[in-house]
Amino acid sequence: MKSDLELNQELALERAEELRRELDKHNYRYYVLDEPVIPDDQYDQMMRELERLEKEFPAIASPHSPTQRVGGKPREGFTTIHHLTPMQSLANAFSEGDLREFDRRVRQALLPGETVEYVVEMKIDGLAVSLYYQDGVITWGATRGDGQVGEDITDNLKTIMSVPLRLHQKVPELEVRGEAFMPKKSFSRLNEAREEAGEPLFANPRNAAAGTLRQLDPRVTASRQLDLFVYGIGLNRGEAPDKHEAALSLLSELGFKVNPQHKLFNNLDEVIEYCQHWQTRRFDLPYMIDGLVLKVNSLTLQKRLGATMKSPRWAIAYKFPPERAITRVKNIFVRVGRTGVLTPTAELEPVQLAGTTVSKATLHNEDNIREKDIRIGDLVLVHKAGDIIPEILASLPEKRTGREEIWSMPRQCPACGSQVERPEGEAAARCTGMACPERLWEGLVHFASRNAMDINGLGPAVTGQLLSAGVISDPADLYTLSAADLLPLERLGAKSVQNLLAAIAASKNASLDRLIFALGIRHVGERAAKILAGHYGSLDRLMSTTREELVNIPEIGPKITASIVSFFENDQNRKVINKLIEAGVNTFNEKEDRAGGNHLSGQVFVLTGTLENYSRQQAKALVERLGGKVTSIVSRNTSYVVAGENPGSKYDKALDLGVPILNEKEFKEMTEKYL
Ligand code: IVH
């Protein structure tokens, strides 16, 4: 006879498996396909139920449960792993001529009557990794190392949400190869935070990805949002495809994220055209590529071509030349950030670089300027770190005229005159003035920004005016503003004043995670804010938390913890928060206290065109308040496309797929009856 415990455990396991399957499925939709079908809170609810079950019945735990993505404990160091098949690297081509030479050699291996097809892929600028699955379950993951032996970074790779923990089919044994990378956005966000914290910056997304995967604490890896594209198979003891393109399809079907920009060619001229196309369009991609990879499609031909000591003869990397430009430093000025960090910035003679005109470049800090010996008036070599952040690589001292000026960090804050300090061992200089208007200004602009409290109409200029007029001195003061305070401001007519006051009032209902993000706590970005909001459910509970509780939350590392604790210890900050609460700003998680109910739960909306009465953010907030979800891609899973004036291609796609289309009036009727 089975005991009660055994019976309960069986039931728990059954439910846990059901939840795991559901969570895996939604995770795949969200991170691999970018087509979420359920609202975040429904996902979070399932995750919490699963966590509870696994805690109550430790025997049902499983290393590939979605709760175990950030399950690993910090390590002392990494152990090594032998790759089952060697990880080769690619030979490079730098010109059209090199590609033609490669093609010629491939053709020499063709049998009479045979033709060659090439698959051309993006060459993702990240870090080569190998993943090994047994019976469809992830077993280990490793860096390339010397090609034979790599480092075991399984725990870190599992934190990458697009890496499947279980495959869609139980293939007996599979070793896959891919590129782990840091998307451009995550890279610039990470470096911004590091700059504010006075920490050394990563030179490019590749270094950032490498540093992140070699982190000993998987929670830190998880917080940095890496991603992974899979591009090939190492060892496979399942059914083996005979074309590279079929291998990519198989990998997709198994649940891996395969870069969609691969294309098949049977003609080298078209390959070359495709390479040239991406050389200029690469800046539009959300991740960095440093070239393209040509691969012979037929695996039979690949085998026949074989490999040299270093690289296969059936593939080649076409590398882009790095984008650089030369221009002159007109001046160097200092920007004061939210946390008081003084960042020197170079004003440049405008120059075309990586797809945009650049007229400013961050100089990061004093040491960087000194090391590179950058002077006002210098000709300098510029590039964009991560394709985004303009940076000076070097000065060109041989071009000096003698009239260049050496720059040094001001001793007093250019905004408030307070003393500037540079703490021992830190690269950043900081303004020490608590009420520095520049810090206040940056903080307020952040508070009102689109992803924070989303106060439409409260941009940098109006915020600056409000501060200099002395009508506000912290974010909570916004909620006591009246028309009389605003009307005297320059360029604010009666209508704008009315709109601004309405936007400020509406922001009181912003979700808790937005509020937490808006507070501008160092290191607490949007993701951390969401996690904290989900964990605590109210600002009050977050404020009275402990260091111990914080460090135990997945993805909240020691640095974020320290910063949160010190933020809430500060009397000034507590005062502002109390004022916000008094003003009636929402400090609860909508899950527990959703004003709009769950009427649109499970419904996925896509917005296109301009709506007359709602900004994008407002329409999105409205749907979310009612429990719905807004995404940007129309698919068969989309419930409604809301089309305003001049709708884009999403409208056509909706027609194509037969997704219901709502006009603004219908959207209004659908949502407002619940409010
Ligand atoms: S194929 C034996 N495909 O580029 C062939 N590599 O030396 C193995 N890379 O670090 C490489 N994107 O990780 C291939 N679509 C792609 C790639 C790619 C990036 C990296 C690879 C390695 C380097 C090639």
DSSP letters along 188-206, please?
HHHHHHHHHTTPPPPSSHH
Residue 432 lies in a domain: no
Give the confidence band of 613 by pLDDT, cuts at 50, 70, 90: confident
Of 179, 181, 229, 313, best ligand 1 pocket probe by most atoms within 8 Å of the beta carbon: 179
- State the pLDDT at residue 192: 83
Residues 454, 567 within the same domain: yes
Residues 642 and 390: their CA atoms lie apart, in Å, by 37
Residues 533, 599 within the same domain: no
- State the pLDDT at residue 558: 86
Domain of 626, CATH number, reads: 3.40.50.10190
Residues 585, 606 within the same domain: no
Pair 523, 452: CB distance under 8 Å: no
Average of per-residue pLDDT across 519-523: 87
Residues 227, 100 within the same domain: yes
Residues 116, 254 within the same domain: yes
Distance 279 CA to ligand 1 centre (A): 17
For ligand 1, atom 13, which residue shows the shortest CA distance? 128
Instruction: Specify the DSSP class assigned to residue 376.
Output: B
Phi-psi region of 259 (alpha: psi -120 to 50; beta: other; left: phi over 0): beta
Average of per-residue pLDDT across 619-646: 83
Pair 551, 490: CB distance under 8 Å: no
Q: Which tens digits make up the pLDDT trace of 278-294?
A: 998 999 999 999 999 99
Residues 225, 259 within the same domain: yes
- Which of 268, 298, 319 represents a domain boundary (last residue)? 319
Q: Which stretch of 95-99, 147-151, 462-466 has the lowest confidence by average pLDDT?
A: 462-466
- State the pLDDT at residue 636: 78
Quote the tokens at residue 430: 């900081």
Give the confidence band of 625 by pLDDT, cuts at 50, 70, 90: confident
Residues 313, 180 within the same domain: yes
Residues 406 and 561: their CA atoms lie apart, in Å, by 40
Residue 588 lies in a domain: yes
Give the confidence band of 343 by pLDDT, cuts at 50, 70, 90: very high
- State the pLDDT at residue 590: 65
Residues 146, 186 within the same domain: yes
Residues 452 and 163: their CA atoms lie apart, in Å, by 29
Question: What is the tally of structural domains in the chain?
Answer: 5
Highest mean predicted confidence (pLDDT) among 68-72, 146-150, 176-180, 657-661: 176-180
Which atom of ligand 1 lies closest to the CA of 90? 7
Residues 607 and 640: their CA atoms lie apart, in Å, by 9
**Of 182, 134, 174, nearest in space to 156 by CA:** 182
Distance 59 CA to ligand 1 centre (A): 41
Distance 160 CA to ligand 1 centre (A): 19
List the alpha helices (DSSP H) in 449-557. Answer: 460-468, 483-486, 494-507, 512-518, 526-536, 539-543, 547-551
Which atom of ligand 1 lies closest to the CA of 307? 2
Pair 258, 199: CB distance under 8 Å: no
Residues 80 and 147: their CA atoms lie apart, in Å, by 12
Domain of 447, CATH number, reads: 1.10.150.20
Of 122, 124, 311, best ligand 1 pocket probe by most atoms within 8 Å of the beta carbon: 124
Q: Is residue 670 pLDDT above 90, yes or no?
A: no
Distance 218 CA to ligand 1 centre (A): 25
Pair 428, 417: CB distance under 8 Å: no
Distance 94 CA to ligand 1 centre (A): 16
Quote the tokens at residue 320: 């882009």
Residues 268, 339 within the same domain: no
Average of per-residue pLDDT across 425-435: 81
**Of 371, 382, 369, nearest in space to 333 by CA:** 369
Residue 429 lies in a domain: no
For ligand 1, atom 6, which residue shows the shortest CA distance? 123
- Show Cβ contacts of residue 117 under 8 Å, excluding neighbours closer than 6 positions: 264, 265, 266, 296, 297, 298
- State the pLDDT at residue 431: 87
Q: Tell me if residue 2 is catalytic.
A: no
Residue 371 buriedness (CB in 10 A; 0-12 / 13-18 / 19+): exposed
Residues 238, 369 within the same domain: no
Distance 92 CA to ligand 1 centre (A): 11
Residue 573 lies in a domain: yes
Average of per-residue pLDDT across 358-362: 95
To which residue do tokens 């027609």 refer? 655
Pair 347, 360: CB distance under 8 Å: yes
For ligand 1, atom 17, which residue shows the shortest CA distance? 123
- Which of 592, 622, 649 represents a domain boundary (last residue)? 592
Domain of 19, CATH number, reads: 1.10.287.610
- State the pLDDT at residue 596: 59
Residue 656 lies in a domain: yes
Residue 423 lies in a domain: no
Residue 313 lies in a domain: yes
Structural domain boundaries enclosing 45? 4-68
Average of per-residue pLDDT across 39-47: 86
Ligand 1 site, CB within 6 A:
88-90, 121, 123-124, 128, 179, 231-232, 293, 312, 315, 317
Distance 146 CA to ligand 1 centre (A): 14
Residues 98, 211 within the same domain: yes
- State the pLDDT at residue 71: 67
Which atom of ligand 1 lies closest to the CA of 179? 13
Highest mean predicted confidence (pLDDT) among 94-103, 190-199, 210-219, 526-535: 94-103
Instruction: Specify the DSSP class assigned to residue 152.
Output: B
319-355 burial, b if ≥16 CB within 10 A, otherwise e?
Answer: bbeebebebbbeebebebbbbbbbbbbbebeebebbe
- State the pLDDT at residue 592: 46
Does the reported pTM lie above 0.85?
A: no
Average of per-residue pLDDT across 115-143: 96
Residue 507 lies in a domain: yes
Query: 3-class secondary structure for 583-594?
Result: CCCCCECHHHHC
How many Cβ atoms are within 10 Å of 255's Cβ, its own excluded? 21
Residues 460, 582 within the same domain: yes
Of 120, 122, 123, 127, best ligand 1 pocket probe by most atoms within 8 Å of the beta carbon: 123
Domain of 208, CATH number, reads: 3.30.470.30
Q: Is residue 358 pLDDT above 70, yes or no?
A: yes
Q: Catalytic residue, from 25, 55, 123, 384: name it.
A: 123
Q: Is residue 356 pLDDT above 60, yes or no?
A: yes
Which atom of ligand 1 lies closest to the CA of 89? 7
Residues 481 and 477: their CA atoms lie apart, in Å, by 7
Residues 182 and 205: their CA atoms lie apart, in Å, by 5
- Which of 257, 288, 319 represents a domain boundary (last residue)? 319
Of 293, 299, 309, best ligand 1 pocket probe by most atoms within 8 Å of the beta carbon: 293
Average of per-residue pLDDT across 148-172: 94
Domain of 365, CATH number, reads: 2.40.50.140
Which atom of ligand 1 lies closest to the CA of 232? 1
